[in-house]
């Protein structure tokens, strides 16, 4: 499977874009502490590199949600790991690797809104905009990508390919 991966954005382009996003987030949250929620497992690589570039004080949380099996969404969203700290009254940033139909991110945003944060924004590394089924506002977007199955830089095909240092797609 991984022998059919074609590079969409190389490692240098990914790091450059992450640095730009970090600067933008720093400007938006100057003088504040930000609670960053990394959506496991895919967003780990993006979150780590983003936070290393940021100057803003951050508190890091992890959540795990799932809606995929193989290359297809199941349509059923489940929370596999919930927050460990209270986010009420806090400025919160969800960090996600990819947004596709938008269902998972919409569900996650609505769920986190019930926890009454002061603010809630979303940063995504990749946005497959042409597949969107629900309108979910993205505040920070790394790359708008084509309707291909994406792997690398945290994104996987049945758990394989996350460690590729670039964003690629599986060529059929």
Rg (CA), the chain: 15
What lies within 8 Å, CB to CB, of 159 at 6+ separation is none
Q: How would you classify the pairing of strands 33-40 and 57-69?
A: parallel
Active-site residue list:
100
Q: How would you classify the pairing of strands 57-69 and 72-81?
A: antiparallel
Tell me, what's the pLDDT at 171? 79
Tell me, what's the pLDDT at 70? 53
CATH code of the region 11-147: 3.40.50.2020
User: pLDDT tens-digit profile of 82-127?
Assistant: 999 999 999 999 999 999 989 999 999 999 999 999 999 999 999 9
Backbone dihedral angles phi then psi of residue 18, each to the nearest 5 degrees: -65, -40
Tell me, what's the pLDDT at 11? 97
Note the pTM of the prediction, 2 decimals.
0.92
User: pLDDT tens-digit profile of 49-75?
Assistant: 999 999 999 999 999 987 755 555 556
Contact predicate 163/2, CB 8 Å: no
% of the chain surpassing 70 pLDDT: 94
Q: Band of the pLDDT at 44, cuts 50, 70, 90? A: very high
């Amino acid at each position: 499977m991984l022998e059919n991966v074609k590079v969409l954005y190389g490692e240098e382009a990914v790091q450059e874009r992450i640095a730009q996003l970090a600067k933008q987030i720093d400007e938006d949250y100057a003088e504040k502490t930000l609670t960053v929620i990394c959506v496991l497992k895919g967003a780990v690589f993006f979150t780590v590199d983003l936070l290393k570039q940021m100057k803003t004080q951050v508190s890091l949380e992890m959540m795990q949600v799932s809606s995929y099996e193989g290359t297809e969404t199941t349509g059923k969203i489940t929370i596999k790991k919930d927050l460990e700290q209270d986010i009420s009254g806090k400025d919160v940033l969800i960090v996600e690797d990819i947004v596709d139909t938008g269902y998972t991110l919409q569900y996650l945003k609505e769920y986190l809104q019930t926890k009454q944060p002061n603010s809630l924004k979303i940063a995504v590394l990749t946005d497959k905009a042409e597949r969107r089924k629900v309108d979910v506002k993205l505040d920070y977007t790394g790359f708008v990508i084509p309707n291909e199955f994406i792997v690398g830089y945290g994104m996987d095909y049945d758990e394989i390919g996350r460690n590729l240092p670039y964003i690629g797609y599986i060529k059929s």
